[in-house]
């Protein structure tokens, strides 16, 4: 018969301590999100350091732990403020200041009733702020919306959903008064009209905005002046809906259906983003996802995108994939590949703006329905109308219809079409000659005058010093007597006749 001994109390205590420690670790791992900062109070300050280890440095989290607000490094050197979808590291909202900070220098975000992003002291170093806002707290909601709240107001004082960057998310209203979606590279914009949504190219900081895609709400009535404008909203069922403002949300006037619209996909987080190639795309993310899944794009073909082949590029459709060439004259027979001519940044109406001409057949514009046109009998007349106008960068003529499409902005990608009646005329600015490094730079008139005067002064001073030295040497050598001749005695009357400056020799 085996006897059971008593358990050592010390072992029991150690085992219990280990169990408690393991349980604490499990709880901390499982519920660590409870320790995340989910609200910022008045007086909050966060500083980004140049030696921060990661691309994104969060300091405010949504209660669900899926989204965070923090400093985001953009590109190789710039710093921005962003709301990021943490599972994918995708920025859903950015502050996009007009002047991005260099993240090699410290930057500070502060909250004193408004959010302020600055480098160094705020005065003169302000990058971005929520203007005309007074609030008590800042919170990031489970929808990814960043809000500033005031204790006396039921609605937020400021909402990131009313100030989008390049992305719309679920249940975010997009209206005519909402700032447009701007692609991260700043070259494209999504805007809403009274009865339509449209994509635009952005030239000269938005001063020139040619349209290249448009979707009009089918049930809207543009001829009805009293009808309210439409607004858009991304729906979790897999479509982008257009509604009449002031309606209860059920008055849908159109739907842009996504690929997943008929699949009844629930529990997915969706976004719609205007991307750097100019296309508007929709994506969804599920808990099991490892990447965003695309289920909608506004423009299906690469050659239909406005800048797919770059400035003065020619997109040639193909069965496998389209090819990019450069716009060259038909007589050259060349098929050079991009990059072609330099991207333009100014117009052709400045003084001395010389340009070369490219004439090419079998070309068209993918978005010619959005470009103004005139009617001419011949291609020569179409070309002449553009050549005489400094605001015209090119013209595409259709010999079958007589339509002359005038391009009033720097020429981007055009499309190849196997039709000899479609011809194009394009202006390409001549490169300005560079100054030779060995050639001295011309001085301004003021610097030239000052240099001449200084040279004259130095020349006169040098001549005077040279004459004084010569005269002194001449006196020493005259007669070989040195100073003795100067001290030879003279009659008193001669001395008396000498008049000094202080009259000391006067009687």
pLDDT tens string 327-374: 999 877 667 888 888 888 777 887 666 889 999 999 999 999 999 999
* Superfamily of structural domain 28-159: Bulb-type lectin domain (2.90.10.10)
174-233 confidence digits (pLDDT tens): 999 999 999 999 999 999 999 999 999 999 877 889 999 999 988 777 667 667 899 999
Query: Which region among 139-148, 271-280, 457-466 has the lowest average model confidence (pLDDT)?
Result: 457-466
Domains 28-159 and 304-429 share a fold: no
CATH architecture of 164-300: Orthogonal Prism (2.90)
As a whole number, the mean pLDDT across the chain is 80
Mean pLDDT of 159-181: 96
Angstrom distance (rounded) from CA 428 to CA 432: 12
CA distance 507 to 499: 11
Backbone φ/ψ region at 476: left (φ over 0), alpha (ψ -120 to 50), beta? alpha
Geometric angle at alpha carbon 371, from 193 and 409, rounded to 5°: 100
How much helix, strand and coil, in percent to the nearest 5, is found in the chain?
Answer: 20, 30, 50
Write down the H helix ranges in 35-86. Answer: none
Residues of the chain above pLDDT 70, percent: 74
Cβ contacts of 245-249, under 8 Å, gap ≥ 24: 245/175
Residue 319 has pLDDT above 60, yes or no: yes
pTM of the complete model: 0.76
What is the band of 2 on the pLDDT scale with cuts at 50, 70, 90? very low
Cβ-based neighbours of 28, under 8 Å, separated by 6 or more: none
CATH architecture of 304-429: 3-Layer(bba) Sandwich (3.50)
User: DSSP string covering 144-171, please?
Assistant: S-EEEE-TT-SS-SEEGGGS-SSEEEBT
Higher pLDDT pick, 289 / 469: 289
Q: Say whether pLDDT at 117 is over 80.
A: yes
Using an 8 Å Cβ cutoff, are 86 and 113 in contact?
Answer: no
CB 326 within 8 A of CB 313: yes
Q: What is the pLDDT of residues 11-26, one digit of tens each?
A: 443 343 443 343 334 3
- Residue 454 confidence class, pLDDT cut points 50, 70, 90: low
Q: Could you tell me the pLDDT band of residue 278, with boundaries at 50, 70 and 90?
A: very high
The average pLDDT across 283-309 equals: 94
Contacts of 253 (CB under 8 A, 6+ apart): 217, 218, 219, 220, 230, 242, 243, 244
In this model, does residue 4 exceed pLDDT 70? no
Phi (first) and psi of residue 93, to 5 degrees: -145, 140
Residue 506: pLDDT above 90? Answer: no
Provide the token pair at 431.
């490169």
Read off the pLDDT of each residue in 289-296 and give the average, rounded to a whole number.
Answer: 94
Choose among 249, 254, 184: nearest CA to 216: 254
Please tell me the distance from the alpha carbon of residue 193 to that of residue 176, in angstroms, as a whole number.
6
Alpha carbon distance 366, 308 (integer Å): 11
* Identity of the highest mean pLDDT range in 49-53, 348-352, 413-417: 413-417
Contact indicator for 119, 106 with CB cutoff of 8 Å: yes
Residue found under tokens 């333009």: 344
pLDDT category of residue 119 using cuts at 50, 70 and 90 = confident
Residue ranges per structural domain of the chain: 28-159, 164-300, 304-429
Confidence band of 477 (pLDDT split at 50, 70, 90) = very low
């Amino acid at each position: 018969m085996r006897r059971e001994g008593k358990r050592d109390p010390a072992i029991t205590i150690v085992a219990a301590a280990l169990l408690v420690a393991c349980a604490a670790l499990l709880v901390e791992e499982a519920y660590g999100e409870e320790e995340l900062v989910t609200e910022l109070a008045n007086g909050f300050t966060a500083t980004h350091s140049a030696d921060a280890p990661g691309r994104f440095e969060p300091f405010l989290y949504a209660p669900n732990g899926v989204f965070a607000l923090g400093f985001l490094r953009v590109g190789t050197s710039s710093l921005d403020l962003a709301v990021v979808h943490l599972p994918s590291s995708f920025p859903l909202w950015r502050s996009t200041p007009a002047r991005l900070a260099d993240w090699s220098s410290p930057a500070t975000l502060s909250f004193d009733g408004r959010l302020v992003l600055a480098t160094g002291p705020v005065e003169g170093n302000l990058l971005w702020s929520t203007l005309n806002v007074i609030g008590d707290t800042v919170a990031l909601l489970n929808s990814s919306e960043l809000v500033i709240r005031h204790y006396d107001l039921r609605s937020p004082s400021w909402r990131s959903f009313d100030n989008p960057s390049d992305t719309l998310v679920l249940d975010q209203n997009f209206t005519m008064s909402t700032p447009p979606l701007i692609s991260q590279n700043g070259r494209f914009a999504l805007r809403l009209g009274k009865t339509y949504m449209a994509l635009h190219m952005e030239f000269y900081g938005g001063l020139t905005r040619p349209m290249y895609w448009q979707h009009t709400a089918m049930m809207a009535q543009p001829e009805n002046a009293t009808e309210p404008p439409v607004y858009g909203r991304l729906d979790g069922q897999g479509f982008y809906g257009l509604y009449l403002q002031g309606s209860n949300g059920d008055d849908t006037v159109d739907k842009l259906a996504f690929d997943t619209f008929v699949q009844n996909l629930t529990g997915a987080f969706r976004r719609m983003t205007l991307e750097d190639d100019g296309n508007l795309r929709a994506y969804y993310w599920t808990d099991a996802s490892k990447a965003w899944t695309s289920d909608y794009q506004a423009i299906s073909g690469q050659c239909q995108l406005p800048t797919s082949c770059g400035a003065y590029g020619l997109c040639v459709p193909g069965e496998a994939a389209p090819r990019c060439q450069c716009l060259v004259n038909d007589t050259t027979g060349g098929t050079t590949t991009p990059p072609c001519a330099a991207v333009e940044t100014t117009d052709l109406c400045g003084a001395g703006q010389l340009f070369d001409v490219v004439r090419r057949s079998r070309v068209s514009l993918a978005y010619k329905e959005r470009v103004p046109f005139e009617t001419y009998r011949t291609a020569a007349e179409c070309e002449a109308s553009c050549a005489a106008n400094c605001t015209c960068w090119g013209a595409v003529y259709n010999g079958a219809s007589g339509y002359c499409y005038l391009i009033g902005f720097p020429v981007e990608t055009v499309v190849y079409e196997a039709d000899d009646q479609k011809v194009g005329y394009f202006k390409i600015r001549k490169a300005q000659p560079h100054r030779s490094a060995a050639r001295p730079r011309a001085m301004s008139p003021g610097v030239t005058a000052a240099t001449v005067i200084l040279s004259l002064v130095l020349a006169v001073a040098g001549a005077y010093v040279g004459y004084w030295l010569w005269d002194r040497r001449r006196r020493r050598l005259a007669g070989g007597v040195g100073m003795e001749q100067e001290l030879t005695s003279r009659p008193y009357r001669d001395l008396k006749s000498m008049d000094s400056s202080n009259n000391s020799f006067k009687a």
